[in-house]
Each structure stands twice: as C-alpha cells, then as structure tokens.
Amino acid sequence: MKRALPENKGRIYLDYAATTPVDHAVARAMRPYFGTRFGNAGSVHSFGQEAIAALDAARERIATALGADFREVIFTGSATEANNVVLRGVVKRFRELFPERTPELVVSSIEHESVLETCRDLERDGVAVRSVPVTREGVLDMRALKAALGPGTVLVSVMHANNEIGTVQPVREIADLVRTARGVSAFPLFHTDAVQAFQYLPCDPQATGADLITISAHKLYGPKGIGVLYARRELGAKRGTGTLTITSESALQPIITGGGQEFGLRSGTENVPLIVGAAEAIIRAAALRAREARRVGELRDVFWKKIRAAWPGAQLNGSIANRLPNNLNVWFPGRRAEELLIHLDRRGIAVSSGAACSARSLTPSYVIQALGFSRERARESVRFTLGRQTTTMELDKTARVLDEIKKKKH
C-alpha cells in the first residue's frame, strides 16, 4: 500500500529556488488552452488560427518585457533544453563554418548541471572546454576568464546568479570582455543562464549585454515544462574589409529537427497552454521584481540574524553582498544536511541541500567545493530560499525549530 503524502496546509516552503507554485493569474491564463482552445498552431483552420494568435501574443509579450525583437524569443521544453540548444547549437554551427578548427567553450566552475554535463558530453566529441574558477565568495575570477579566452573560443556561458548559493555574477562586465575578445570575428558569443536571477534582477539584453539568455517559467510562478531562450537576432562583426552578419538562426544550429517550428531552431508542436502561462509569469515577475526583491531581502536578512542566534557556529556559503535577496546557503558545522532536512521536514518545513536536479543522489555540492571548501562542509550545508508566500511568522518558526535541533543530541 502506498504511503499517503502529507497535506501542504500549514507547512512551510523554503525551497523556492527549486520550483514555485503556479500563480492563480497564470493558471487562469492557461486554462482555456487546455480545453476549448485546444488547436494546433500549425493548422490553418479556425482552431489553429486561435492557437497561433495566442502563441504570437505570448511571444510578443515576452519580447516587449525583454526589450527584444519578436523573432528573438524561442520557446523550448525547459531551461535545460534551452541551455543545450545554446551549447550544442553554437558548436555545431562553428564546426560548419570552420571545420578545420577545434571549438572551445568557456564556462564557470559553478554552472548548473545542464551546462556542465552538456560540456562533458561535448568534450567526448572533441570540443575543448575551459572551466573558470570562482573566488571564495563565489564570484567569477575575471582575470582567469580573460586568460581563458582564445582564438578558438566560440561561447562563454556564465550564469547570472547561482542556483545553490545565490551569488550574482558581473554579467555586464563579462559581456564587455567577450565583445572585446570577439574583435573581427562573430565569435565568441556570450550566454547567461538567468533562471534564478530573472525574478529579482534586470535580465534583459540591454542590462546583461548577453547574446543568449535562458529563462525558466517554473522558477517564476509559472508552469513546468517550458523554457524561454532569448537569441540576439543580429550578431555582426567586421571581417577583413567586409562585414560578417550572423543571425540567431544561423549562429545556432537546431538540435531537434522536424517541422521547423520556432524559426527553425526547435521543432515540435508548440505547447500553447504552457507558452501562454510562461508569458503571464514573466510579465508578472518583471512587474513585481523591485518590490519583491526589497521585501524578501529584508526578510532574509532578519532570518539570517535569527539563524546565527540559534546556531552561533553557522556560516554563510558565498557572498552576502553579491547575492540574490531570497537566498541563504548555510553551513551547520558537525551536522549533516540530510539529517537537518529530515528534522525540518518532520516539523513541516521544506528546505534543500542544494540543486533540486541532484537532490536525490545526496552527493556533496560541487558548487560549495568550487569555492575552496571541503566535501565535509558541502555535506553540512543547507539552502533556504524565500518566495512570494514567505512570511515573518514562517521564518520565526523555522529559526525556533533550528534552535531545538541544535540542542538535541546527535
């Protein structure tokens, strides 16, 4: 017999970096496209026309929010897929243009697994990958990045903010460095994974300087199963006496082929309900950004003081200054993260020990180890991430429970 799952009512959710509940307005926007407006956007009849109209409207809304062109917004099945489209698509295109050269990818040592694992796979296929270290506080070493750039560099991929420790990278500075390195070539391109950052920081092309930007709806109170990729339409650079102009369609080769949807970059019938939901979530996140950043930042800072009062030996992983306002990643010396997670969950409090993608494996965080800390510290660290529903009362209770756990014997 299957064990009944606990009711969520009265429970405290502090794992908003893993996923978020779907906003009621987002659910309302999607609902008609699961029912009466179910048409395929590729059909010419009225049902199809209704679907393509919704698809176009969603794309236009996102483009407007990003200050981008309509054709620069690409829908994928997830942010992981969007990252794969970027990494594999750029490499594939570069090899077509320059078959005699070895493509090189430059990434930070604390990227999401969807970037790092894809890089490992591409390495097995002959692609060179350079990993750039971060400081003890989790910020990219800019001198090391500059040294890593070479004539074969096709792409630099650095996440805007880390999913585990919340540290924010100087993406505009990185973009300027990449653009300088580009010189008379169309490469390297600059990609940033803005999945965690979008809710709290400006992530448009003007603010980041990025050529390619990944966004995920389910981290923004939208549905799971839908990712958004911004791909700058024109990437021009002087070459010799002429000018080489590369569009996003030609800078990226598709990794999923078929009917040529998404301007040829991602084939497959468009998932209209999720696309509509993603647009609504992105618009709402952008509108609430400044207010929510202030609110959760104030809550987070008070919560951190209470954690330290309850557990004086606790230490923060990553920078407190260059950090997302909703994130605390805390080292509790001498107490395994899984033990703390179980105790907290029994008291109705949901937190995590790191990335949701690797949580089941219980392996120590490679991100915390990349800061120069031990595997033991990585095993003893817990991530708390706040969100729209987080209240002072919830955080007060969590601090009290941590105090009780601290006083218990191992």
Same domain, yes or no: 308 and 160: no
Among 262, 281, 300, give the residue marking a domain's end.
281
Query: Over the chain, what HEC string results?
Result: CCCCCCCCCCCEECECCCCCCCCHHHHHHHHHHHCCCCCCCCCCCHHHHHHHHHHHHHHHHHHHHHCCCHHHEEEECCHHHHHHHHHHHHHHHHHHHCCCCCCEEEEECCCCHHHHHHHHHHHHCCCEEEEECECCCCCECHHHHHHHCCCCEEEEECCCECCCCCEECCHHHHHHHHHHHHCCCCCCEEEEECCCCCCCCCCCHHHHCCCEEEEEHHHCCCCCCCEEEEECCEEEEEECCEEEEEEHHHHCCCCCCCCCCCCCCCCCCCCHHHHHHHHHHHHHHHHHHHHHHHHHHHHHHHHHHHHHHHCCCCEECCCCCCECCCEEEEECCCCCHHHHHHHHHHCCEECECCCHHHHHHCCCCHHHHHCCCCHHHHHCEEEEECCCCCCHHHHHHHHHHHHHHHHCCC
Going by C-alpha positions, the residue among 144, 151, 210 that lies closest to residue 182 is 151
- Are 38 and 94 contained in the same domain? yes
Query: What was the pLDDT predicted at 177?
Result: 97
Q: Which two tokens stand for residue 273?
A: 């309900």
- Both 222 and 326 in one domain: the answer is no
Q: Digits of tens for pLDDT over the chain (410 positions)?
A: 455 545 567 899 999 999 999 999 999 999 999 999 999 999 999 999 999 999 999 999 999 999 999 999 999 999 999 999 999 999 999 999 899 999 999 999 999 999 999 999 999 999 999 999 999 999 999 999 999 999 999 999 999 999 999 999 999 999 999 999 987 678 999 999 999 999 999 999 999 999 999 999 999 999 999 999 999 987 644 344 344 445 555 678 888 889 988 988 998 999 999 999 999 999 999 999 999 999 999 999 999 999 999 999 999 999 999 999 999 999 999 999 999 999 999 999 999 987 555 555 568 999 999 999 999 999 999 999 999 999 999 999 999 999 999 988 65
Same structural domain for residues 93 and 110?
yes
Domain of residue 317 covers 12-20+289-405
> Are residues 64 and 98 located together in one domain of the fold?
yes
Are 196 and 261 within one domain? yes
Whether 2 maps to a domain, the answer reads: no
Q: Say how many domains are in the chain.
A: 2
Q: What one-letter code names the amino acid at 46?
A: S
Distance CA 325, CA 168 (A): 10
CA distances from 312 to 31, 308, 309, 350, 402 (A): 49, 5, 6, 22, 11
Task: Give me the torsion for CA of 279, 287, 175, 85, rounded to 10°.
Answer: -20
Backbone phi, psi, residue 366, to 5°: -70, -25
pLDDT value of residue 357: 53
Contact 41, 48 (CB under 8 A): yes
Question: Residue 259: inside a domain, yes or no?
Answer: yes
State which of 228, 256, 281 marks the end of a domain: 281
Positions marked active-site: 357
* 188 preceded by a cis bond (ω within 30 of 0): yes
- Write down the pLDDT at residue 91: 96
Q: What is the pLDDT of residue 254?
A: 87
What phi and psi values does residue 44 have, to the nearest 5 degrees? Answer: -90, -15
73 part of a folded domain: yes
Q: Let me know whether 218 and 90 are in one domain.
A: yes
Q: Is the dihedral of CA 231, 268, 20, 23 positive or negative?
A: positive
Quickly tell me which residue has 């694992």 as its tokens.
Answer: 117
- Report the alpha-carbon angle 275-190-278, nearest 5: 10
Residue 173 · residue 201 · CB < 8 Å:
no
**CATH (domain of 185):** 3.40.640.10
Could you tell me if 314 and 392 lie in one domain? yes
Torsion of CA 236, 237, 243, 247, to 10 degrees: -20
Residue 381 belongs to a domain: yes
pTM of the model: 0.93
pLDDT on residue 186: 83
Is 410 a member of any domain? no
The domain boundary, picked from 251, 281, 311, lies at 281
Residues 332 and 248 in one domain: no
Q: Which residues, including other chains, have CB under 8 Å from residue 71's CB and lie 6 or more apart?
A: 233, 248, 263
In a domain, 6, yes or no: no
Same domain? 178 vs 74: yes
Q: How far apart are the first and last CA of the chain?
A: 32
139 shares a domain with 270: yes
Do both 244 and 295 map to the same domain?
no
In a domain, 5, yes or no: no
CATH number for the domain that contains residue 369? 3.90.1150.10
pLDDT of residue 361: 57
| Sign of the Cα pseudo-torsion (303, 304, 309, 311, in order) | positive
Residue 43 lies in a domain: yes
d(CA 401, CA 298): 21
